[in-house]
Amino acid sequence: MNILKRPIIIAILALLIGASILFILNSTHTQHDSKAHDHKRDADGNIIHDEVNMPGLIGADTTDIEIAELRALFINHTEITRTVENLPNGIKTITETENPELRDQLISHVIGMMSRVSENRDPQIPIQSPMLTPIFEDGASIITDFEITEKGIIFIQTSDNPDTVDALQKHAAEVSDLAARGMEAVHERMDNSN
């Protein structure tokens, strides 16, 4: 084989393999998207939650790890304790668990979302609160500090934007409700918003 043809053939094969991988990833993502919006309802129109697959956790921009973390947090919500202090310009939350594996997932989730806020990367999860939209949109104005504890994480977020502070405080209360009641809190909020 001509030496000049070999790099061209390798480049073409690399492009074909890359295109195939992108096609497969896009197909999988599209399947996740269609499943995410498929909420079953009971006779009264209330959302029935799929406790096994949790399709409502699959966002337009979520990773499998993020979905697994959310699933673990929802399934084990009764093992999570939370306190929230509203500050004049933000929030201070303490979220902890006695379960070491859940603690790791909790910390990873919080740090991952902190990174998303700083990058203005809204995961667009179907069941997420509308309070998250202004938080993701105004990530540049939010100052975040955190401390990992033996059982979880202390998290402080502040902003000079009063609307963002309001969203941070409302969302912190929603997360506390999720920790207390799990998916029941999500369904109630979604039913009330329709």
**Cα separation, 28 vs 114, whole angstroms:** 26
Residue 104 has pLDDT above 90, yes or no: yes
Cα–Cα distance, 83 to 104 (Å, whole number): 19
| Per-residue model confidence as pLDDT tens digits over 32-87 | 443 344 455 556 665 555 554 566 788 888 899 999 999 999 899 999 999 999 99
In this structure, what are the phi and psi dihedrals at residue 100, rounded to the nearest 5 degrees?
-60, -40
- Cα-flanking dihedrals φ and ψ of residue 127, to 5°? -95, 5
Backbone phi, psi, residue 158, to 5°: -135, 160
